[in-house]
């Protein structure tokens, strides 16, 4: 696993945690959750692409 891929996976986990914390807030911010999910999806695509590359 390359250092870049490892860093992306770590950041992906951090984004997942931020989404989880935001949804547990008394008044979650739907725009923030939507933005975090968008970032998470982009990162997932990039991780998948990197894992499939030789």
- Two tokens at 17? 């945690």
**pLDDT of amino acid 1:** 82
Share above pLDDT 90 across residues of the chain, in percent, rounded to a whole number: 94
**pLDDT of amino acid 54:** 72
The C-alpha atoms of residue 22 and residue 27 are separated, in whole angstroms, by 8
**pLDDT of amino acid 15:** 98
Model pTM?
0.86
Q: Are 53 and 15 in contact (CB under 8 A)?
A: no
**Domain ranges in the chain?**
3-52
- Residues 19-40 pLDDT 10s: 999 999 999 999 999 999 999 9
Helix (H, G, I), strand (E, B) or coil at 8: helix
24: which DSSP letter? Answer: T
29: which DSSP letter? Answer: -
């Amino acid at each position: 696993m390359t250092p870049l891929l490892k860093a992306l996976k770590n950041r992906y986990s951090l984004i997942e945690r931020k989404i989880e914390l935001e949804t547990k807030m008394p008044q979650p911010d739907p725009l923030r959750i939507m933005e975090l999910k968008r970032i998470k999806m982009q990162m997932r695509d990039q991780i998948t692409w990197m894992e499939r590359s030789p």
